[in-house]
Amino acid sequence: MTAGAWITLEGGDGSGKTTQADLLAGWLTDAGRRVVRTREPGGSEVGQLIRDIVLHHRGDIAPRAEALLYAADRAHHVATVVRPALERGDVVLQDRYLDSSVAYQGAGRVLDGTEIRDLSLWAAEGALPDLTVLLDLDPAAARERLDSADKPFDRLETEKSDFHVRVRDAYLALAAAEPERFLVLDAAASAEDIAAAIRDRVGALLAAR
């Protein structure tokens, strides 16, 4: 896409994305790279308004409406945050992107995953990350982590176990279809072991660029 690098982190709720993003951002900054930390939904002012709707709205949201809200956030986020950062040569480190929509709105909400992906690609003008790190964790283990965190659940975290099983299966299918873009790691491993594997892959990516 540009001279910068775009890295996304994916996985079910409770898989440890925030921890790994923090560790990777620190490593990149220490190496002299400019890092832009962002997320979807909510990586822009407009996106934060959308985030409040899709994650914290107390009433029901029709599945297709939910998918369109995520796509709207994505369109604005890529145009106003991601592309400008990459054009500056920054490393964009992002929590969730279109793979989350395919997994959560496609498989989780039982919509057509291909249609969800096409919608996201249209919204983002075809933009795909250089690397997607998938932190894979059994949904039951993820639930234990969320329970121990002692914080309110959002709309997706409160879904039943079969929803999260579908999400996990969809993520693994996406990774299998695009092995060149994905790095799949066992989120049950130690945080440092996971971080080391991510650093190895990111280091190789940056060296090649």
pLDDT tier, 1 (very low <50, low <70, confident <90, very high otherwise): very low
29-61 pLDDT per residue, tens: 999 999 999 999 999 999 999 999 998 887 899
From 25, 52, 49, 51, select the one nearest 40 (Cα to Cα). Answer: 51
126: left (phi over 0), alpha (psi -120 to 50) or beta: left
From 99, 133, 134, 131, select the one nearest 205 (Cα to Cα). Answer: 131
Helix H or strand E segment including 5:
strand 5-11
pTM exceeds 0.85 for this model: yes
Please say whether the dihedral angle defined by the alpha carbons of residues 92, 93, 99 and 101, taken in this order, is positive or negative.
negative
- The residues, any chain, with a CB within 8 Å of residue 42's CB and separated by 6 or more, are 48, 50, 51, 73
Per-domain residue ranges for the chain?
A: 5-208
The rounded percent of the chain whose pLDDT value lies above 70 is 98
What fold is seen in the domain 5-208? Rossmann fold (3.40.50)
157-193 pLDDT per residue, tens: 777 889 999 999 999 999 999 999 999 999 999 999 9
Helix H or strand E segment including 26:
helix 17-30
Question: Which residues make beta-bridge pairs with 38?
Answer: 94
